[in-house]
Amino acid sequence: MSTEDKALRRRVEHEIARYDIDFSLGNVAVVHSVVYLSGKVKRTLTPEGRNVDLQKLMTTIVDSIRVIPGVADVAMDCDLLG
């Protein structure tokens, strides 16, 4: 993994952390500036997280990742739980 891909992965992880989801079983990989999201995503147990539409929120997250400078594309293959 190139230094640029490592830095981009950290930036993507930071972006995901801004949202009220449990991505602890998720994985972020970056290869040649393409972001790959995989694993399992769950709602959080907070009152705000209980009413979240995960599909809609993941679409929002993917859209926010796409505008990060240096991101060529985003591929999401996450299992949405709950």
pLDDT of residue 63: 98
pLDDT digits (tens, 9 = 90+) for 51-65: 778 899 999 999 999
For the whole model, what pTM was predicted?
0.89
Pairing of strands 73-81, 34-43: parallel
Domain boundaries, the chain: 3-81
In this prediction, residues 12-30 reach a mean pLDDT of: 94
pLDDT in the model for residue 50 = 67
- The topology under which CATH files domain 3-81 is Alpha-Beta Plaits (3.30.70)
Q: Between the CA of residue 73 and those of 9, 37, 43, 48, 76, what are the distances in Å?
A: 13, 11, 25, 29, 10
Convert the pLDDT of each residue in 65-75 to its tens digit: 999 999 999 99
What is the per-residue burial (b if ≥16 Cβ within 10 Å, else e) of 28-56? bebeeeebbbeeebbbeeeeebeebebee
